[in-house]
Amino acid sequence: MVDASQYERFSELLEGNYRALYGYIYSVVRNFSDTEELLQETSLILWQKFDEFDPETNFSTWACQVAKFTVLNYFRKEKRRRAHFTNTLQSHLLTIAIEEDVSPDDVRRDALEHCLGQLTPTQRDMVCDFYSETKTVPEIAQEHSRAPQGIYGSMHHIRRKLLECINRYLDRETLP
């Protein structure tokens, strides 16, 4: 039987660290839908193992460790998509992300998420494909029925658009 106070405590901790976990997983996976799926899987595992969590330690660090193993398992299952990343490199990248200050108050990450949401679905897909290292520019160009040079031009335009949006967002956040 689940103790209501235990469930409430878990919910508070998860809610308070949800953005950090999302950002952590996305920083490694670089795919919105996979990030959502992995975050749900991580949340379920966190709940299942919550009785193992030491309240004297940092929940965010513990949750990111659980997410690390969830993501590594995902990479093992999806090896064909990430064949150029060795298991050692994947583990190293995940460890670096955990060691960085993954703060839910990271305004820059919020700005990027907001501004990516302002792009069209085609632009978001192009950004994800371009930075995911799973596809070459010619492959992206073929998918979008464009020349590779057109993809570079579009990415230049998208990056400029994102930079302007992020700067506006940050200016708005720093105003009193």
Q: What CA–CA distance (Å, rounded) separates 74 from 68?
A: 10
Tens-place pLDDT, residues 106-163: 567 777 778 888 888 888 888 877 776 667 888 888 988 989 888 888 888 988 888 8
Give the span between the Cα atoms of 90 and 86, in whole angstroms: 6
Count the residues in the chain: 176
**pTM (whole model) above 0.75:** no
C-alpha 137/C-alpha 132 separation (Å) is: 11
Copy the structure tokens of residue 83. 């064949």
Domains of the chain: 4-99 (1.10.1740), 107-174 (1.10.10.10)
Q: Report which of 110, 95, 87, 88 is spatially closest to residue 22, judged by C-alpha positions.
A: 110
Copy the structure tokens of residue 28: 């490694």
Tens-place pLDDT, residues 22-44 = 888 887 787 788 888 999 999 99
**Cβ pair 50, 10 in contact under 8 A:** yes
